[in-house]
Amino acid sequence: MKTTALITAFLAGNVAAFPNMDKMTAPLAARAYEEAQQLKKRAVDPPQGAGAMPLVPPPFDAKAQRISTTGAHKWVAPGPNDERGECPGLNALANHGYLPHNGKATITQYIDAVTSVYGMGVDLATFLATFGAVVDGNLLSWSVGGKPHTGIGGSHGNYEGDSSPLKGDLYQYGSIGKLVLSQFKELYDMQADAEQPNYNLDVLRDFRGKRFQESIDKNPKYVYGPFTGILVSQAAYTFIYRFMSNKSEEYPEGILDKNTLKSFMAISGSDDNPKWTFGHERIPDNWYKRNTADAYTIPYFNTDVLYFAETQPEILSVGCNQGKVDSFNAIDADTLSNGAYTANQAASNPVCFASEFAKAELPGLTGLGSVALAPLTKTLNGLTSGLNCASIGSVNTSALTACPGFSFYGGPNAKVAKGAIQS
Closest approach of Cβ 35 to ligand HEM, in Å?
24
Q: What's 25's DSSP letter?
A: T
List the one residue from 21, 128, 352, 395 that touches ligand HEM (CB under 6 A). 128
Contact set for ligand HEM, span 54-93 (CB under 6 A): 86-90
Contact 316, 303 (CB under 8 A): no
| Strand order, beta sheet including 319-320 | 223-224, 319-320, 329-330
- Which span (61-69, 240-248, 253-261, 343-351) binds ligand HEM, by CB under 6 A? 240-248
Contact 355, 380 (CB under 8 A): yes
List the one residue from 164, 175, 191, 246 that touches ligand HEM (CB under 6 A). 164
Please give the C-alpha separations between residue 207 and each of 23, 33, 41, 94, in angstroms, as whole numbers. Answer: 34, 30, 31, 27
Query: Residue 56 or 243: which CB sits closer to ligand HEM?
Result: 243
Q: Is 296 in the site for ligand HEM (CB under 6 A)?
A: no
Q: Is 167 in the site for ligand HEM (CB under 6 A)?
A: yes
Q: Is 307 in the site for ligand HEM (CB under 6 A)?
A: no
Q: Is 108 in the site for ligand HEM (CB under 6 A)?
A: no
Binding map of ligand HEM across residues 376-405, x = CB under 6 A, - = no contact = ------------------------------
CA distance 318 to 67: 38
CA distance 208 to 176: 17
CA distance 370 to 310: 37
Contact 84, 94 (CB under 8 A): yes
* Dihedral sign (CA 204, 240, 328, 318): negative
Query: Residue 7 or 232: which CB sits closer to ligand HEM?
Result: 232
List the one residue from 118, 199, 341, 353 that touches ligand HEM (CB under 6 A). 118
- Total residues at interface with ligand HEM (CB under 6 A): 28
Query: Residue 118 or 307: which CB sits closer to ligand HEM?
Result: 118
Closest approach of Cβ 85 to ligand HEM, in Å?
8
Q: Is 141 in the site for ligand HEM (CB under 6 A)?
A: no
Closest approach of Cβ 32 to ligand HEM, in Å?
24
Q: Is 99 in the site for ligand HEM (CB under 6 A)?
A: no
CA distance 288 to 69: 11
Nearest to 197 by CA among 259, 276, 289: 259
Q: Is 160 in the site for ligand HEM (CB under 6 A)?
A: yes
Q: Is 159 in the site for ligand HEM (CB under 6 A)?
A: yes
Query: Residue 49 or 88: which CB sits closer to ligand HEM?
Result: 88
Kindly report whether the peptide bond that precedes residue 54 is cis, defined as omega within 30 degrees of 0.
Answer: yes
List the one residue from 52, 99, 166, 316 that touches ligand HEM (CB under 6 A). 166
Contact 111, 18 (CB under 8 A): yes
- Spatial neighbors of 326 by CB under 8 A, at least 6 apart, are 216, 217
Query: Residue 122 or 340: which CB sits closer to ligand HEM?
Result: 122
List the one residue from 161, 225, 252, 404 that touches ligand HEM (CB under 6 A). 161
Write phi, then psi, for 381 (nearest 5 degrees): -60, -40
**Residue 176: which H helix or E strand, with range?**
none
CA distance 286 to 127: 30
C-alpha 356: how far from its chain's center? 16
Query: Residue 165 or 284: which CB sits closer to ligand HEM?
Result: 165
Using CB under 6 A, list all residues that contact ligand HEM: 86-90, 110, 114, 118, 120, 125, 128-129, 132, 152, 159-161, 164-167, 232-233, 236, 239-240, 243-244
